[in-house]
Chain A
Amino acid sequence: MELENSNPNIYNKVSERNITADEEDDSVVDEIDSREIFDLIRGINDPEHPLTLEELHVVEDSLIFVDNRNNIVKVLFTPTIPHCSMATLIGLSIRVKLLRSLPPRFKVSVEINPGTHVSENSVNKQLADKERVAAALENTHLIKVINQCITPLTMNRKRA
């Protein structure tokens, strides 16, 4: 398969989370915050490159919004190029990862960072339609591809 974006910009990873004494104290309620969401999705692989969404700046900590009290998580992602045909698949991978990781009370929305994709409205509408997402996730081929994206490369490398 020919790569759509053969030479993407690669960025440095952010540093690992500093674990504070409070966070190790089980008696302290540790609310889900944007950094925690970021840690869940930063390791998702790009469908084309052996790089993570973090390394391609597709996801960034500053584009994640959490309203813990109202159960809302919103993730904006930036496709590497404005006509990226993988945008829906990337968004779907982020949705599935969060669906599996977060408590079901959360309403997760995954949208394209405004102005970074030529068909952002249609991709956003599709990603927000839970019926179409549910149907897509019953597609065995698609779920296999998504699972490959979600399984961290670093984990594979370590295993290897």
Chain B
Amino acid sequence: MGKLEHIQTLSKHIGRVWSVAWHPKGDALATCGEDKTIRIWAKEGKEWVNKVILTDGHKRTIRDISWSPCGNYLASASFDATVAIWDKKSGEFECSATLEGHENEVKSVAWSKSGHLLATCSRDKSVWIWEVAEDDEYECAAVLNAHTQDVKKITWHPHVDLLASASYDNTVKIFKEDPSDNDWICIATLSSHESTVWSLSFDKTGNRLATCSDDQTVKIWKQYLPNNSEGVPTTDGEASWKCICTLSGYHTRTVYDISWCHLTDSIATACGDDIIRIFKEDEGSDPNAPTFSLINSAERSHTQDVNSVKWNPKVPGLLASCSDDGDIKLWNFIE
């Protein structure tokens, strides 16, 4: 049994905090919310303190934020239908570009591992892929209209340019660039959830994906390449993704976010019942039908819905969460 130890509460935002994002070096945390600000927190001695406040980039709620893999850029997605890119070239964080094109609220933003691509998704049902050119220029490389409803979250594969998206249409879709004509195409639709898929997270290998939903379950999906030894059928030479595990009965309300730690393999979930839960795969479990156990459930982690959870990419066990209660909390998970 593990223990989730509360380290510190960061209270500066006014109203709901929607999202938290660790800097790739693990030494800074960006947060955003209803108050239309982005705050950047870093450690001073033993305490995490608010170092920077970014205002005036957006006219409405900031829903999501993402650091570039190099750590020099921060992208923010807003209900005002735009995405802002911030950098520190002048010494201070400044908004250097605004990406427009979505018809309404932008729900999520994510940089690819290479840093050359940026993806955004919106209530307008589309996913956009932007190529990062020189001199802070961003060119739209694709508009993907595969989903039939509001797209909630996008995330890139940890190693290759493969994009996964989660939607109000209950599905997850996987996209990649077709090398023959450089067109982005949907190569897989993952259907099994019975309601909105709110978030998704790859494991460190990128061969497995965890998804969470309004149906109060978490699902684990595995990629099967063509000619796999398990005999899972594939089409058009593309990998197929199969749901290999469903974690049901643990969450009592909507699961809003999920984070699969690349250092410790622990899975954390953020739930509408105010609780942060930690799951881990059982030792010796069958790779094609794995079992996971709930190893921690921190009652009243927050006083309202937990909206986001993220594992620190450098410090094993360090977890950040944020909530409708306006707080950001830092936790240390000890196994």
What is the interface of chain A, defined by CB distance below 8 A to chain B? Answer: 104-105, 107, 125, 128-132, 134-135, 138
Contact = CB atoms under 8 A, between A and B. Distances in A.
B325 A138 contact: no
Contacts of B61: 134-135, 138
A134 B107 CA distance: 12
Interface in B1-18: 16
Nearest to A106: B304
Nearest to B59: A138
Contact of A138 (B79, B123, B196, B214): B79
SS class, residues of chain B in contact with chain A: loop
SS class, residues of chain A in contact with chain B: helix
Interface string B31-66: 000100000000000000000000000001101000
B195 A135 contact: no
B317 interface: no
B327 interface: no
Contacts of B107: 131
B105 A129 contact: no
B272 A107 contact: yes
A44 B34 CA distance: 27
B150 A132 contact: yes
Contact of A105 (B123, B168, B304): B304
B303 interface: yes
13 contacts: A104-B324, A104-B325, A105-B303, A107-B253, A107-B272, A107-B305, A129-B168, A129-B214, A132-B123, A134-B16, A134-B34, A134-B79, A138-B79
A103 B305 CA distance: 14
Contacts of A128: 214, 254
Contacts of B16: 134
A140 to B, nearest CB: 11
Contacts of A138: 60-61, 79
B152 interface: yes
B79 A135 contact: yes
Interface in B148-176: 150, 152, 168
